[in-house]
Amino acid sequence: MERDVNESSRTFPIREAEFAADAYDVERIRADFPILSSQVHGHPLCYLDNAASAQKPRAVLDAVRDAYETTYANVHRGVHYLSERATTEYEAARTKTRRFINARHDSEIVFTRGATESINLVAASFGRAFLAPGDEIIISEVEHHSNIIPWQLLRDSHGVVLKVAPISDDGEIDFECFEKLFTQRTKLVAVSHMSNALGTIQPARRIVDAARAHGAWVLFDGCQAAIHLPVDVQELDCDFYAFSSHKIYGPSGIGVLYGKAEILDAMPPYQGGGEMIKTVTFEETTWADPPARFEAGTPSIVQAIGFGAALDYVTGIGKERIQRHESDVLGYATQRLAAIDGVRLFGTAPAKASVLSFNMDCAHPHDVATVLDRSGVAVRAGHHCAQPLMKRLGVTATVRASFAMYSTRAEADALAGALQSVKEIFA
């Protein structure tokens, strides 16, 4: 399929019809990702660090290049041809995002720099406007630092109280304890939909029901879930949902804050600057409606267009099919690693996706990752920006292999094989 560069708000080549008809052809998908054919230290790249950031398909690379070559100008500011065209493309990406998570209105999609900024936006704007000193926010032990520190900053500046729901050894929120944390003062529950360090999927709908029963708002950190799970914010009925483009095969530097229209409408700006205003005088400024109110300054224009292309690509292949494939690879890799003497797996809850965290008796996680890298296997080792979780698990770090739509059983074999080398070196 050829792209028509004159067509605005176009979708990018996704081969939807081809994919719909036949079985999941992972090799064909891999061929769409140029970097996957690289060699690292003389070995074929085995990229298992997808939870940190995913690789980009040619459709995204082309969309970014094409935007710079044919469409680029600042958005929402000019009446000239390119500016209008760039604005149309930028806003088309918003519509694609709205569809991707089934939000009601485009205005409920705020583009940010990423999930981290999305959560900081809620803490700074919603937190200061709607929470009073003494009001309580519930988070959990499994959270990424991006869903801990913004609330600590709010606690320190504003006097809210932070409560932490414990998790089971498998990484699931202990629901009985979670429910006991609610009081009259509980105003917000802010938890991850899926853990980056363990892959555990939390019972999102149940969390919303519990929060609603106590009149509390809900924010989900969907940074991992948005890639691996179907997300329907209307069905979830959450108030906020935060995620990043770079983990969904899109460019870095752009992310999403979904917020219910009536809540965003009532929220004050997060940052001041160009294009977030209606009128400005030295005495007084009035705010633009959402989402512009929360997008001060020149946004990540081309990144948004690339993100739209990534969403087209994922949707074209089909999220459910991707999920089935990833689940197969995760199950296979789990079996392979569980069979290796001296490997300890973390986070083995039944409801989990695409993340395999483990340690080896014989070596520190960083040494394991370094040896794996010499075999071309890219994993992350460390605390995964979840230090309180590491403490809960009684470790300082784990090795994390994380899978994506292009991961294969052969890569799980390569990982298991490379772990044998680790044993030979360190045992």
Site residues for ligand C6P per CB under 6 A:
51-52, 114-116, 144, 146-147, 192, 196, 221, 223-224, 244, 255, 380, 384-385
How would you write 121-133 as a 3-class SS string? HHHHHHHHHHCCC
- The residue with tokens 């946004």 is 299
Alpha-carbon 316 to chain mean position: 19
The DSSP bridge pattern shows strands 377-378 and 355-360 to be unpaired
Q: What DSSP letter does each residue of 174-226 carry, written as one string?
A: -HHHHHHT--TTEEEEEEESB-TTT-BBP-HHHHHHHHHHTT-EEEEE-TTHH
Going from the C-alpha of 350 to that of each of 134, 176, 200, 331, 390, the distances in angstroms are 37, 18, 8, 11, 20
Residue nearest to ligand C6P (CB): 196
Q: Any catalytic annotation for residue 177?
A: no
Q: Which of 173, 190, 44, 42 is nearest to 115 (CA)?
A: 190
Per-residue burial over 296-310, b = 16 or more CB atoms within 10 Å of its CB, e = otherwise: beebbbbbbbbbbbb
Whole-angstrom distance, CA of residue 77 vs CA of residue 380:
42
The least distance separating ligand C6P from the CB of residue 343, rounded to whole angstroms, comes to: 21
Category of 270 on φ-ψ map: left (φ > 0), alpha (ψ -120 to 50) or beta? alpha
The least distance separating ligand C6P from the CB of residue 388, rounded to whole angstroms, comes to: 13
Which is the catalytic residue, given 46, 223, 238, 385?
Answer: 385
Nearer to ligand C6P, 254 or 422 (CB): 254
Nearer to ligand C6P, 13 or 251 (CB): 251
Whole-angstrom distance, CA of residue 345 vs CA of residue 343:
6
Q: What share of the chain is helix, strand, coil (3-state, %, to 5)?
A: 45, 20, 35
Per-residue burial over 257-286, b = 16 or more CB atoms within 10 Å of its CB, e = otherwise: bbbbeebbeebebbeeeebbbeeeeeeeee
Catalytic residues: 385
